[in-house]
Structure 1
Amino acid sequence: MRNPRIYLNQALAVNTQVQLSDDALGHVVRVLRLGEGDPITLFNGLPKDQASGDTAQQQYTQYQARLVNVSKKQAFAEIESEQMVNNESPLNIHLGQGISRGDRMDFTLQKSVELGVQTITPLFTERCGVKLTGDRLKKKQEQWQKIVISACEQSGRCFVPEVKAPISLAEWQAQQTDALKLNLHPRAAHSIMSLPVETEQVRLLIGPEGGLSDDEISSARDAGFTDVLLGPRVLRTETAALTAITALQCRFGDL
């Protein structure tokens, strides 16, 4: 069985000891019931060459370690070796996801990270049924980031995508970018697989339950978004996001 992978937000190096965070301790010791001497894999999301901004060209390191000094309240990891990991897609996808209710949003974030998304911005739209402000909004963003970290631990990614602070759709559309901007539309001229362009960067807009309003679709076009098809059937928001990401990885990425 593969060693459990644990994210630690701190410097890591061979022949050093690091203390597990409370979240890591709870998962490794209390849930998996690992103990003294058991092997684990650590990563911190930092590229080997931090000067480079191209995630796809960067190499990341994960570290093989063993648990030491384990108790109910704390545990340490003795780092024994390191391994270079280069499993990031050549396609940089920034997902703009209309905030959906309950587990749908959590599911979308988790699976989009497994499929290789690099940045996620939750969006407030006209049909967004979730009201979040102040401390509730901050806590929700932190919860979403934890879901992303967990997905990286499971999927073998060492790069940790960022969940940006939620903003309005209009604000996200107005951001400057060189990426190909795509929005799903049932009467679009092209499917993702037949887009007559090549790209290494995509901004993908996905609406919440109920989709985007006509005005929002129109404003997306005005902001330079291209309408694309995802087949003849109507998909739920979480299905649409994951289907589109998969198609993009097949068309431009590493699937």
Structure 2
Amino acid sequence: MPRFYCPTPLVTDALLELPAGAARHVQVLRLQPGDAITLFNGESTEEFDATVTRMGRSDVQVQVGEARTTAREPARRVHLAVGMPANDRMDWLVEKATELGVASIRPLMTERSVLRLSGERAEKKVAHWQSVAISACEQCGGNRVPTVHPVLTLAQWLKALPAAAGDSQRLLLSLREGSAALRTRPLTDEAVFLSGPEGGLGPAEEDLALASGFAPVSLGPRVLRAETAALAALTTLALLP
């Protein structure tokens, strides 16, 4: 059954005009009155059955049906902060991280970042990546849409971080000597995971992260691409008890 993100309150038996994005998607699929769909608003584990009641030229009305709670979200909430890879690799990273259940994504500019964004261009990129995350949630069955936060420099982001809470931890993907294997670390229910761009973080940047409470971890002896490393870490964090 087609699934659509509908960022509005969903109430059983209500008649609802779908927001523009969902309405366009319904029309692209050539759905008709009487067709069944699934709605979710990205804020809970609930999703709702719904039925198309009217198809306009640019608007779609549905009747919201029964709610059901699903269990598709990872038990551990992981917030990914990543030095943005170049070209279309960030799109791919956002899509796959969403499929893996990431809680949020923070795009960062770092010393070795190829992609440099600011102002209106940065805002447009973030809006685009948020739409990529929404589409990935619609496809994969996730009901919590990860927030793609505004672009910051690494230093800005570290400075703005709140004091670490006891039920969360901060992990830095690093190749430096002494980094513990991620799979061997005891983990909490919430984590912030920092990963660099192509070429990784610079030594001074890693030192800054360590001073901000991050612990260095490793995925093994191989050097992975920036987007591969971040996704391998998310997979590991999702699978570990």
Instruction: Note whether the superposition's TM-score is higher than 0.5.
Output: yes
Question: 1:224 aligns to what SS in structure 2?
Answer: coil
1:29 aligned partner, one-letter code = Q
Q: State how far apart, in whole Å, the 2-side matches of 1:5 and 1:234 are.
A: 37
2:79 corresponds to 1:81: no
Instruction: Show structure 2 runs of 5+ residues with no match.
Output: none
Q: State how far apart, in whole Å, the 2-side matches of 1:153 and 1:188 are.
A: 41
Equivalent residue number for residue 35 of structure 2: 38
Percent sequence identity over matched residues? Answer: 38
TM-score by length of 1: 0.87
How far apart are residue 172 of structure 1 and its match? 2.1
Instruction: Show structure 1 runs of 5+ residues with no match.
Output: 48-59
8 Å contact kept, 2:117–2:151: no
For the aligned residues, what is the CA RMSD? Answer: 1.5
How far apart are residue 201 of structure 1 and its match? 1.5
Structure 1, residues 88-116: CA drift from partner, whole Å, max 9, x if none? Answer: 22211110011122211111111111111
How far apart are residue 147 of structure 1 and its match? 1.0
Q: State how far apart, in whole Å, the 2-side matches of 1:136 and 1:128 are.
A: 16
1:28 aligned partner, one-letter code = V
Equivalent residue number for residue 66 of structure 1: 51
Structure 1, residues 186-234: CA drift from partner, whole Å, max 9, x if none? Answer: 2344211111x33111110111112111211122222221111111111
Which residues of 2 match residues 1-255 of structure 1 at below 5 A? 3-30=1-28, 32-47=29-44, 60-174=45-159, 175-176=161-162, 177-178=164-165, 179-186=168-175, 187-195=177-185, 197-252=186-241
8 Å contact kept, 1:97–1:206: yes
8 Å contact kept, 1:192–1:251: no
Structure 1, residues 18-39: CA drift from partner, whole Å, max 9, x if none? Answer: 1122211222212x22222111
Structure 1, residues 111-146: CA drift from partner, whole Å, max 9, x if none? Answer: 111111111111111111222222111111111111
8 Å contact kept, 2:24–2:58: no
Q: State how far apart, in whole Å, the 2-side matches of 1:42 and 1:189 are.
A: 43
1:111 aligned partner, one-letter code = K
TM-score by length of 2: 0.92
Q: State how far apart, in whole Å, the 2-side matches of 1:138 and 1:157 are.
A: 25
How far apart are residue 86 of structure 1 and its match? 3.0
Q: State how far apart, in whole Å, the 2-side matches of 1:198 and 1:24 are.
A: 38
